[in-house]
């Protein structure tokens, strides 16, 4: 059974630690791939404007206003939001490798790719 397991990470350092642990546990370097996810139109999450809110937060706020649930104040942030920006994948040959890779990646904060 040849397969590929993919997890996404919010922070490069977490993805890098997971990759290092995969390599240390015996996965071949040509089977472990770390890359930054790129959106077709550029980054879709980040600073919206001077208030520090993100595009996602702004859209959520608009829907809350439209649904009558009241105004929502956007939090001020010092860092732009970047969720699941780093993608780590591992090519595996059997269920045991799949399980080992999954445990290691989750240990460092890897999550499944969100389905939109």
pLDDT 10s digits, 70-116: 444 444 334 444 455 899 999 999 999 999 999 999 999 999 887 66
Per-residue pLDDT, 52: 45
pLDDT tens for residues 30-44?
A: 999 999 866 555 544
Please indicate whether residue 41 or residue 25 has the higher confidence score (pLDDT).
Answer: 25
DSSP conformational letter for 27:
-
Does residue 54 surpass a pLDDT of 80?
A: no
| pTM of the predicted model as reported, rounded to 2 decimal places | 0.61
Q: Look at residue 113 and give its three-state secondary structure.
A: coil
Spatial strand order of the sheet with 86-92 comes to 3-9, 86-92, 32-36
For the record, the structure tokens of 39 come out as 């959106």
Residue 79 Cα distances to 47, 108, 111, 112, angstroms: 8, 21, 21, 23
How far is residue 37's CA from residue 46's CA, in Å, rounded to a whole number? Answer: 14
Beta-bridge partner residues of 5: 90
The per-residue pLDDT for 66 is 56
């Amino acid at each position: 059974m040849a397969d590929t397991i993919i997890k996404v990470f919010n922070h490069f350092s977490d993805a890098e630690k997971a990759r290092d642990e995969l390599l240390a546990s015996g996965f071949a370097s040509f089977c472990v791939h770390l890359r930054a996810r790129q959106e077709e139109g550029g980054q879709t999450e980040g600073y919206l404007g001077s208030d520090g809110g993100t595009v996602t937060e702004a859209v959520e706020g608009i829907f809350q206003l439209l649904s009558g649930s009241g105004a929502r104040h956007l939090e001020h942030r010092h860092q732009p939001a970047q969720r699941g920006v780093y993608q780590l994948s591992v090519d595996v040959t059997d269920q045991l490798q799949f399980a080992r890779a999954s445990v290691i990646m989750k240990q460092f904060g890897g999550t499944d790719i969100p389905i939109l």
